[in-house]
Amino acid sequence: MDPWNELTLAEQLSNIDGEVNRLVRARDRFLDNKTKSDHYEDYIALITKLIQKTIEDPKNKDRRIDKELWDELEEIERYHKGEVSKDYILKYWDVYTKAIS
């Protein structure tokens, strides 16, 4: 069994939330010229993988969370495009995580 599947849905969402927070912090450091590399794509790949694993987790099948989780990823893309602020994306994910778990 995948160790990810041993986590509760709330724990899975909390882990994804942590990656979203790391994405925002890394992006800030890059935009503030504190780092030479933009690790945005790496974080998006990890967040996408964790979302996929959460959707595929058998215990979550009846929750029908797939659309909501993909919508969350779209909001992160909006953040990347500059359509929403970092405060918005952090609050959006936090509110969603608390509502669904």
Count how many domains the chain has. Answer: 1
- Identify whether the C-beta of residue 43 lies closer than 8 Å to the C-beta of residue 23: yes
| pLDDT (tens place) for every residue of the chain, 101 residues total | 789 999 999 999 999 999 999 999 998 888 888 888 888 889 999 999 999 999 999 999 888 788 888 988 899 889 888 899 999 999 988 888 777 76
The conformation of residue 101, written as its DSSP 8-state character, comes to -
The confidence score (pLDDT) of residue 101 equals: 65
- Among 19, 15, 21, CA closest to 91: 21
DSSP category for residue 84:
S
Domain of residue 75, residue span: 3-100
Q: Find out whether 12 and 4 touch, Cβ atoms under 8 Å.
A: yes
Whole-model pTM: value is: 0.87
Please report the pLDDT score of residue 43 as a whole number: 92
Residues 41, 96, 86: CA angle, nearest 5 degrees: 45
**Angle in degrees, 0-180, between the axes of helices 66-80 and 9-31, rounded to the nearest 10:** 10
